[in-house]
Every structure is written in C-alpha cells, then in structure tokens.
Amino acid sequence: MTETPQTRSTDAPVLPGQYQPGEVEQRRYEEWVSAGLFQASADSDRPPYAIVIPPPNVTGSLHVGHALDHTIQDSLIRRKRMQGFEALWLPGMDHAGIATQNVVERQLAGQGLSRHDLGRDKFVERVWQWKAESGGAILGQMRRLGDSVDWSRERFTMDEGLSRAVQTIFKRLYDDGLIYRAERIINWCPRCLTALSDIEVEHSDDDGELVSIRYGDGDNSIVVATTRAETMLGDTAVAVHPDDERYKHLVGTEVELPLTGRRIPIVADEHVDPAFGTGAVKVTPAHDPNDFEIGQRHSLPNLTIMDERGVITAHGPFEGLDRFEARPAIVDALREQGRIVAEKRPYVHAVGHCSRCKTTVEPRLSLQWFVNTGPLAKAAGDAVRDGRTRVEPAELAKRYFAWVDNMHDWCISRQLWWGHRIPVWYGPQGEVVCVGPDERPPGTEEQGWRQDEDVLDTWFSSALWPFSTLGWPDETADLRRFYPTSVLVTGYDILFFWVARMMMFGLYALDGRQPFDVVALHGMVRDQFGKKMSKSFGNVVDPLDWIERFGADATRFTLARGANPGSDVPVSEEWCQGSRNFCNKLWNATRFALMNGAHVQGDLPAAEQLSTVDRWILSRLRQVVGEVDEQFEAYEFAKVCDTLYHFAWDDVCDWYVELTKPVLAAGGPAADATRRVLGHVLDQLMRLLHPVIPFVTEELWIALNGGGTVVTAAWPVADDALLDPAAETEIAALQKVVTEVRRFRSDQGLKPGQRVAARLGGLAGAGIAAHEPLIRALVRLDPAGDDFAATATLAVSPAVTVELDTRGSIDVAAERARLEKDRAAAEKEIAQCRGKLGNAAFVGKAPEAVVNKIKDRLAAAEADLVRVSAALAALPS
C-alpha cells in the first residue's frame, strides 16, 4: 500500500515498517497472563460463559487437530469476554494411561529394566517424575498459539481433587448396580497387555487370507470360512441360520473339529447370515464378541486357546507358537488332511490395531469391570432430544443417537499401573468391598485383603472433566457458577466415545443437569485436496512450524477460515502464506492511517458532517457487525473469517483507504471527520478480528488507542443508526465506474501510472457527479482538452459512459494481435466444452463433479470471450 503521509500528528505512535510476529507474540501473551486478563471469578455478577478444554494427553504435542480445536474455542471465549461475560476457559491435561506408561517403560528398557524390576509403587513414582520433568510440553505450545485459558485453574486427571471425584462416582455407580465385574469379550493388546476401549482401536483395511475349511466327512460335513484359522482350536460349535434349508438336517448333530479330535455341536442361531459365505460359521466364544453371544445363548463352553501375549496355549503341535506363526502352520496342516476347500489371498478386510503401538488387537475373553450403560445412555439421549443440550450442526445429532441408543456396556478396567486404581478390595473369605474417597480399606494385606490390581480406563476420568474440574463432588462456588458449561468444542470423530460418556456421567452425578448446553462439532483437518493427513502421504502439517514461519495469527486464521460446522477442514501452506499477507495488509493500512492522523478520540461526527464515503464505510461496518454476530452464534467460523477478510481487504483497505487519500491530502474539516471515521473503523475492525487473530490486532488496537488492551475492550454493537442505504448505493455506482475503467486499462495494457484523457458522461444521472474528481484521481484520468478525440467508449451502466482518448498510449497493432490470440483461445475452449457436454454418453457416465467442472470451464470461457470482444471493439481503428 502506498503511504502518503500528509497531516501526521506529532504524537501519533509510529508502527515499524513491517509486522514481525516473533517480536510481538510471546511479549504480548506474557503481558496478558501477568495482568490476569484470562482469569474468571465465581464471585462476578457478570453472566457466566464457560468452556472446559478437551484435555490433551500429558505425552502429547500440539498437532494440527489441536490447533484447530483450540483456535475455535479461543475465538468463542475471547468474544464472550469482550461482550462482558465472566468467561472461563479451563485448561488441563489427561494422564493418558497407556501412552504415558509406554513412554516410561521405554525409558526403563533403555536402562535394561522393566516396571516389574521397580515394583508398582516405585514405577508410579517414576511416572510422576517423568511428568514433572518432561510431560505437558503441549501447555507451552498452547501459549504459542495464543490460548486465553485461565492458567490459575489448570487441572490434571490424576491430581488429588480429580482422583477424589473418580473414586466418588465409582462408588456411587457401584452401589447403584451400574458397575459390575464379569467375563466378557474385550479388545486386547498383546503388546501393551491391557484391555482397550473402542476409541483406542484403529481399524484399517489389511491384506489377509480367507480359507474355507471342511469340518467332518461325507454327508454330515459342513464348510466354514475364516480369516483367523488359528482360532479354530477354540471352536466349540458351528452355527447356521434356523431357516437355512441346506443345514436343517444337521442342526442338533455333532461334527469332528479337525486337528483336535473333539466333536462339537451344530446349532441354529438367528445371528448367522445365510447369504454370507457358506451360511455356516465357526463359533469360538472366547475369541470373538459375536461368537461369545452365540455361546451364551446355547450354553457353549469358552475355550481360551492363547495367552495375553497372543501365544497359542492349546495342547498339541501348535502350542507355544505366536498367533501369526500358528495361522499358516494350521492352514498347512489342514491342507495336508485335504480339508482346505478354498483359499482367497489377498483378502482385504478390516483389522483393529492398538492406537498406541499399532499391534493387531485380539478379541479376548477376560474378567473385567464394566459400566452398565443402559440407563445412563438413555438419559444422555433424552438430554439432546428434549433440548437441554444442542448438537451443532443439528444433522450430526443422528450420529449421536445412533450411538447412545445402541450402546454396549463399557469395559472400564485396564491392566496398567499408571492411572486411577480401581477402589475395590477382596477379602480372605471372598469378600468384595468398594471403598469411597472418605473411607478406609476394610483390612490390610497381612489380614488377607488386597486391592484390585487394575486401573480405570482413561476415558472414565475424562468423562468427569466438565464437573470434576470445577470442584465436584463438593458444591463449590465454581461448580455453582460455571456448570453446566456453555459449549463443548470437539471433533465429530469422538462424538461417540467422549461426548457421550461426559453426557452420561454429568447427568448422573449432577441430578439431570447436562455438562454443556451446546456440543459444537468440527471436522478433521485435511490437505487442500481433501486428502487425509498422513506421514506416508507427506502432507502432515506441523502447526508449530507454521507459527514459527508465518505467525500464530496466520496459522489460526487459516484453520478457522476452513471450519464449517461438522465438515472437514482443508488447509495448505499457500493459504497460510495468504493469511500472513492478510495480517500484513491490516498492519500497513493501520500504519498509513496513523501516519495520516487517524484517531479514536471523541465521538464520531454527526452524519451531516460526514462525506458519503465516510457514511458508506460506517454503514458497511454496521452490516458486518450484524453478520459476524449471527455467524458466531451459529458456530460458522469459516463465514466469520470470510466476512471479515473481505470487509477488511476489499471495503476498508482497497476502497475506503484509497478513497480517503485525496480527502486527507486536501485537509480541512472534511479531512478531520475522515480521520475520526478511519480511526473508528480500524478500531472496530481490530475488535471484530481479535478473537481469531489476537496478536496483530492487539498491537494495532493499542497503537490506535494509545494503550489499554483489546482483550477486554467492548465487542462492537450493531448500531442501526449507522445504516445508510443511499450512501451504499451511491458508492456502489462509483465503484462500478472505477472498476470498469481499471479493467479497460488492464485489458489495453496501459501502465498503472499512465494518465489518459477522458470525458465522463451521465454521472449526474447516476447520482455521483460530486465524485468526479475522486474517480479521476483513482483511475488517472485527465480532463478532455481541446484536441480530445474519443478512441474508445465504455458503457459502464445505462446512465454512465466513459470516453477515452488512447492515442499514443496503446500500440494498437500489438494489442489487437494479443486480444485476437486470447479470443481464439476462448473460442477453442468453448468448442471443446460444448462438445463434451453435448455428448450424452459422456455426460451419462462421467461423475457429477467432472461434469460440473466442465460447465464451470465453459462459463469462464464464455465470459472471457465477451470481455475480449469488448476490448477489441474498444480499440481505435
């Protein structure tokens, strides 16, 4: 932007020539924290607004998903703080049981030790030591992003208060019969040696082998198919559908299980799909969840044929083999006996993997603790159905109901040492006692009492997060003031696993009071092509790298600008560079304004003292404030950013600042009024942008206001008195003239600084005659002299024409040749697109997206042809 300081105030602050994020961000953030600007008080009489941060893992670092999630939350909390709410954004971390234990165990392995060498107590001490020295790096990274959290309330899922909350709710659930211990099929990691929750299992399509095996001989034989041949050693039945005519004569009979010599029954069960495979399935109750249910219905024995490390324990030739070694060995043995009917390899099927170590998960029958989710899940569904909690976007509520209405009981025990130990003691006579937080254990080890060795699933403690962090089970001032919390912001991918759990526990513990009023769901961050980010694809974005190179504001704006509710968020480095340029544009515009005396002192001049241009920008500001308010309330962050981007870049920088230059240069009362309006518009713009890009707006707002902080400045209010449709209509007409002349100049190859004589007709009819000097200044048009000869005429509108004398300004022959070339290219593109769209076979078979792309190309080419033809017609003969 060209700087033309004319009447710079002697005491106006001087901004550096360029914005350097690295010199601003850390300094400003520490100032905010030191001043206590992010702290909330339960004693305040302001209306409360609270968000509890989805607690990142203590082992984690800021990834692009965190950056998106935190940017959205920070935008909400900063805006509410400016609106006068007592805004609490509560930070903290999750102890991340499996991940943290793995980290410390790897450290011990490097010293030639295992956790068993230390013993449980010493190992837990070592984990706490690691947490103090190395854990929680993400907290510092949150500061770099600009998170305006109340650090005085930082919590950790293993701290004393939250541990007490965990023990309290466990005891209540246990006493109410909603927690029980039983043998069930669970997800088991043979590497981590623990049960896993559903969210800790990642499924991928892997290459495997599908083998069809004949059980029995002759007319009584039956064929089953499996991808896990090793589990046949634990088969206790074959199941068929009761209505399957092929197998009715076999139901109730027995068949010999190959390689084992055991005979197993053939049972009828409606779970079997007769159309899948052979219509007969092997039943291994101890190693498959569906088989376990069949086994329960038919009282089948549960034979466990492998240990916790996935090693075969069934007596015979395969004993001692790893499960993946046993699989081909068993297939070979069956092949030798002629029992392999068919083999299909590769056979692609979904396989679960431990999210921590990527080991293939093994379904395993195990004695574990479970939550009876039935009544809890119903309450969680009812809270959304009756409107106590609203899901945004509303269409994702269907996914929520699909989960809570069909929820299985939740396995909550983990075979770890790091975590909340299950508060149940077993006595010497078989006693089972659950102990609350204010109760003593029933006895000592010397007396034969022992505590359950398992710890609770990490998701159990995080399910309490919205209220345990506020002091529950005590009735604290924070709990009374800030519960229910206002909104939960999270990705739709954990709607089922975490959101539903918080709903269940919050409603149960707080007598039907929901943990949050709104669940605002965003999508996954993807690359600019919509592709999932993956190290193997080489498209992973490190937000810390972007912050280092482009600044936190540019990183935040890039993420927020793609955040439509419930939809995935595309990003690219090029877009982040564009966001950095946007920050620089704001910097340069404000620097220009300050150097030309813009200020915020005193009231705005009355409307009659303002120029049409000033009234126009104030009217546009009023509209933008209203639009942004609506978009924020609808969680339309992409629209917020888009609205503010175009207002700032187009209306303020490209138009208003340029339109003010001649006024400021002329001086006088009009310039004084414009300086005040320019200062006001930039002040309000910085407030509007602050929630998304806090650092650059703080720097610029302070420069405009001579101190203070935008963090606690009042949020702009949509003032209808500023609406001025007449001014907007008038300036729109001016913009059209300027735009068309600029387009003509560009098409004709005129240099930006080259002046051209012109006659402007019809300005009075368009209501913009008073703006003729301004129009001429903006597009470098000289008055028509005595020797004026119109060589080109632009029909800007039915009322306005612009005649230009381009003699000596254009190499007509060269320009005609260039335009003829452009016209030929446009005509060729039109012919090609019309040919494809006229081909019924192509249109019928091509994907809709491909057809639409060709339609877009056609429209663009037709517009180019019109533009080029007009430029040719305007050339002098």
Q: Give the pLDDT confidence score for residue 309 in this predicted structure.
A: 94
Q: What is the pTM of this model?
A: 0.85
As a whole number, mean pLDDT of residues 649-663 equals: 95
Residue where the block lists tokens 């029958």 = 365
pLDDT in tens, 847-866: 787 888 899 999 989 988 98
Q: Give the pLDDT confidence score for residue 5 in this predicted structure.
A: 37
pLDDT in tens, 438-467: 999 999 999 999 999 999 999 999 999 999
As a whole number, mean pLDDT of residues 336-361 equals: 90
In angstroms, the CA 217 to CA 532 distance is 50
307 three-class SS: coil
650 three-class SS: helix
pLDDT in tens, 803-826: 999 887 776 777 788 788 889 999
C-alpha distances in Å from residue 835, one per residue of 199, 828, 848, 866 = 51, 11, 17, 20
Q: Give the pLDDT confidence score for residue 7 in this predicted structure.
A: 40
Q: Give the pLDDT confidence score for residue 529 in this predicted structure.
A: 81
Q: Give the pLDDT confidence score for residue 6 in this predicted structure.
A: 38
Domains plus CATH for the chain? 194-363 (3.90.740.10), 569-723 (1.10.730.10), 733-874 (no CATH)
pLDDT in tens, 144-158: 999 999 999 999 999
pLDDT in tens, 700-757: 999 999 999 999 999 999 999 999 999 999 999 999 999 999 988 888 888 888 999 9
Q: Give the pLDDT confidence score for residue 255 in this predicted structure.
A: 95
517 three-class SS: strand
Higher pLDDT pick, 494 / 418? 418
**Residue 661, marked binder:** no
Residues 6+ apart with CB under 8 A from 628: 640, 643, 644, 688
Q: Give the pLDDT confidence score for residue 11 in this predicted structure.
A: 56
In angstroms, the CA 232 to CA 305 distance is 9
Cα-based angle 511, 514, 516 (whole degrees, multiple of 5): 150
Residues 6+ apart with CB under 8 A from 521: 391, 392, 393, 396, 490, 491, 492, 495, 565, 566
H, E, C per residue of 739-758: HHHHHHHHHCCCCCCCCEEE
- What is the band of 13 on the pLDDT scale with cuts at 50, 70, 90? low
pLDDT in tens, 307-339: 999 999 999 999 999 999 999 999 999 999 999
DSSP H helices, 282-412, are: 289-298, 323-336, 374-385, 397-404
pLDDT in tens, 484-524: 999 999 998 888 778 999 999 999 999 999 999 999 999 88
Q: Give the pLDDT confidence score for residue 8 in this predicted structure.
A: 40
Q: What are phi and psi of 871, to 5 degrees?
A: -65, -35
- What is the band of 675 on the pLDDT scale with cuts at 50, 70, 90? very high
Instruction: Calculate what percentage of the chain has a pLDDT beyond 70.
Output: 98
As a whole number, mean pLDDT of residues 257-266 equals: 94
In angstroms, the CA 231 to CA 287 distance is 7
- Given a cut of 80, whether residue 199 has pLDDT beyond it is no
Least confident of 140-149, 567-576, 804-813, 831-840: 804-813
Q: At what angle do helices 64-82 and 543-550 cross, to 10 degrees?
A: 60
The overall average pLDDT reported for the chain is 93
Q: Cβ-count burial of 216 within 10 angstroms (0-12 exposed, 13-18 middle, 19+ buried)?
A: buried
Q: Which two tokens stand for residue 279?
A: 């219509």
